[in-house]
Amino acid sequence: HNSYRIVMIGAGGVGKSSLTVRFVVGRFVEKYDPTIEDAYRIQMSIDGEVANLDIVDTAGPEEYSALRDQYIKLAAGFIVVYSVTSAHSCQAAAKLRDVILKIKGLSVEDGSCYDYPIILVGNKCDLASERTVTFEEGQAIANRCSHFTKNFFEVSARTDTNVSEIFCEMVRQIDTVEWRK
Ligand code: GDP
Ligand code: MG
């Protein structure tokens, strides 16, 4: 009841833990153990309602794993993260998004993927001089599988740009889907 199970997923080093810790604890942690996979529970008020967020900050190799499969099955929504400084991580994000859709049984062909809560996030937008992925490239990837207006954000865990916005929007999208059931 009013509980939202959200999974942070993406290539190593893109800032999944930094974004999670920024949101949950309100601080930027310079170094976070890249092997730690952790779950956080946080209560927030959104649109006048109390929401309990269970956030799983995944870690480890990008390769498909049974463990990841399990997370994907249990989750209500996904925040798929890449770094705007790494085109490789952006491609990895697109692939992970496809894996999620496949496991959830959603596809572009029958249109079932378009209102599923997956938000694509380009982190490290503070590193303007190191950017290799444009805003438009990120937006185009997000649009391929989602019809939500806010299906893509560029964010920075370091400068706290758009961080709470992604979690609020995730809750709203999950509500949209739950309400239709
Ligand atoms: P994860 O492997 O996806 O969990 O990535 P981490 O959260 O551990 O972050 C990897 C590295 O990127 C760390 O050195 C962070 O300090 C750095 N980092 C994370 N987010 C940002 C950001 O928004 N801006 C900048 N400049 N660095 C970041
Ligand atoms: Mg991490």
pLDDT in tens, 3-49: 999 999 999 999 999 999 999 999 998 888 888 889 999 999 998 99
The whole model's pTM is what? 0.95
Phi/psi at 2 (nearest 5 deg)?
50, 30
Q: Specify the pLDDT at position 102.
A: 93
Structure token pair of residue 114: 């378009």
Atom of ligand 1 nearest to the CA of 10: 3
Structure token pair of residue 58: 């995944």
End-to-end CA distance of the chain: 15
Measured in angstroms, how far is the CA atom of residue 154 from the centroid of ligand 2? 18
With a cut of 0.90, is the ipTM above it? yes
Which of 16, 17, 18, 30 to probe ligand 1 with, by most ligand atoms within 8 A of CB? 18
Q: How far apart are CA 90 and CA 156, in angstroms?
A: 15
Q: Specify the pLDDT at position 119.
A: 98
Measured CA to CA in angstroms, residue 33 lies from 21, 36, 37, 78, 96 at distances of: 12, 6, 9, 22, 22
123 CB near ligand 1 (under 6 Å): yes
pLDDT in tens, 151-168: 999 999 999 999 999 999
pLDDT band, residue 60 (cuts 50/70/90): confident
22 CB near ligand 1 (under 6 Å): no
Q: How far apart are CA 72 and CA 99, in angstroms?
A: 9
Atom of ligand 1 nearest to the CA of 11: 3
156 CB near ligand 1 (under 6 Å): yes
What is the sign of the dihedral through the CA atoms of 94, 95, 100 and 105? positive
